[in-house]
A = this chain, B = another copy of it.
Amino acid sequence: MNIGQAAKASGVSAKMIRYYEQIKLITPAGRTDSNYRSFSEREVNELRFIRRARSLGFSVEEIAHLLSLWRDRVRPSREVKAIADGHVQTLEAKIVEMQAMADTLRALSRDCAGDERPDCPILADLGSGQPPRREPAPARGFR
């Protein structure tokens, strides 16, 4: 199986396969006499693992760790769970951040006429020298 077939079979582009090999995420594939890479079914499975992990947002570094645990028959599931939970936290933090951005923008956009006139609360906000948006007094009562 050469790189194109491995790419199709795994869903990882040939470019990325070479890259993963270069950064030592995967062990270098064998080579044919003519220097073509040759992939075994096992290696294709690793590529599928990587593609799936990437699609869940894991970084390459995290995937390196996950792969080593996957290969380790006596890994403690505690370690796997820790990586997953850590990543979930990262995701949640980003989601919260983006949600805040979107909420602010929706509020500004709601009050913008969106017609031919130049008046615009969005530009007014951006130009107002607003500090990085600290919560506008968190409405005592949520605690």
Of A17-25, A31-39, A122-130, A135-143, which binds chain B? A122-130
Rounded to whole angstroms, the CA-CA distance of A118 and B132 in the bound complex is 45
Known: A52-B130, A77-B115, A117-B76. A57 touches B123 (CB 8 A): no
Q: A92's closest neighbor in chain B, by CB?
A: B102
- Of B11, B57, B72, the contact of A132 (CB 8 Å cutoff): B11
Question: How many residues of chain A get a CB closer than 8 Å to chain B's CBs?
Answer: 60
- Please, which residue of chain B has its CB at the minimum distance from the CB of A117? B77
Interface pair B84/A105, CB less than 8 Å apart: yes
Copies in the complex: 2
CB-based contact B84/A116 at 8 Å: no
Query: A94 vs B97: C-alpha distance in the bound complex, in angstroms?
Result: 12
Tell me the bound Cα distance from A132 to B75 in angstroms.
Answer: 26
Interface centre among A56, A74, A113 (most CB of B within 10 A): A56
**In the complex, A55 has a CB within 8 A of chain B:** yes
A residues with CB within 8 A of B: 11, 45, 48-49, 51-53, 55-57, 66, 69-70, 72-78, 80-82, 84-85, 87-88, 91-92, 94-95, 98-99, 101-102, 104-106, 108-109, 112-120, 122-123, 125-133
